Amino acid sequence: MNFKLLSPAHWTDYELIDTGGFEKLERFGPYILSRPEPQAVWSKALPQVDWERMACAVFRKGTGKDGLRENERGEWIQKKGMPQQWWISYVYGGMKLRFRLGLTTFKHVGLFPEQAENWDYIYDGLSRMHAAQPRVLNLFAYTGGASLAARAAGAEVTHVDSVRQVVSWSRANMEASGLTNIHWMVEDAMKYLRREVKRGKQYHGIILDPPAYGRGPAGEKWILEEGINELMELCSQLLSHNEALLALNLYSMGFSALVAGNIIQSYFPQITGECGELFIPDRAGRRLPLGVFMRGKLTDSGR
């Protein structure tokens, strides 16, 4: 399995301007945001006065007294003219995607820009499959970037996330992107997988972006280290043995890319692929690590 460092190459509506001091300064379309970033342990390249001048909105950490991990919630300090929601675009090949962004109390804005590298991979891989309409399962799917990429490639897509609000957000992104007929499931991923295995379902593509921790719609507890093995075992029973694409993302500061690679080799020995880290460079050339990945394919000629 090859090891790679990968960064998205086709963004025009996104830029990482500066990093450091446990923060990052980013441009999403016309608006510049300052957010916490635990991996940016080095010093900022730009002076603080430039950050304050450039940022249209700044996220301030909360106290974490609501039972969540410390500092997970917070608030945005917005300058005049900064909207609560806005739209940006991503274009690659035949993909012309639109995303609604918003300032959430969890510092997220509805998009993880580093994942564009995987969207390209998913779009290219599915477009080249022999299956007339590949069946794709996207788990922990959030606001649907990978679902949109798969649907733009002509796949039949099932999008699973436990939070109804982000599934509605995903639907808005689908409609704005001129796409239709994604199957939406507000469901705990593990429960859904167990049912699909019992039904004997098969998918040509499985995309996974499990969080480090989380809750299902009925309060189901998810901890990555405890659930990852059963998750991958179930997926191994659902992935096609004829023609397949698999993409796994892990964003946990304690996980090496080798973990993702070892997991895939254990449960998907038929897959030929690559593992590594996703990153985005800032203007000063520092490469901000943004998670590890493993992705691979099984083609008709590779059986």
* Domains of the chain as residue ranges with CATH: 2-6+112-302 (3.40.50.150), 14-85 (2.60.40.1180)
Neighbours of 234 (CB within 10 A): 19
Q: Which of 100, 108, 123 is nearest to 29 (CA)?
A: 100
Cα–chain center distance at 265: 22
Phi-psi region of 21 (alpha: psi -120 to 50; beta: other; left: phi over 0): left
**What pLDDT, on the 0 to 100 scale, is given for residue 256?**
86
Indicate the pLDDT class of residue 224, thresholds 50, 70 and 90: confident
pLDDT in tens, 210-221: 988 777 777 778
pLDDT in tens, 233-267: 999 999 999 999 999 999 866 788 888 889 888 99
Which run of H or of E encompasses 109? none
Structure tokens at 273: 């692929």
Residue 19 has pLDDT above 90, yes or no: yes
Indicate the pLDDT class of residue 64, thresholds 50, 70 and 90: low
Angle at 157 between CA 155 and CA 162, to 5 degrees: 160
E strands within the chain?
Answer: 2-6, 14-20, 23-28, 31-36, 57-61, 74-78, 85-92, 95-102, 135-139, 156-161, 183-186, 205-208, 213-215, 221-223, 244-250, 272-281, 287-298
- Lookup result for tokens 């959030």: 142
pLDDT in tens, 169-200: 999 999 999 999 999 999 999 999 999 999 99
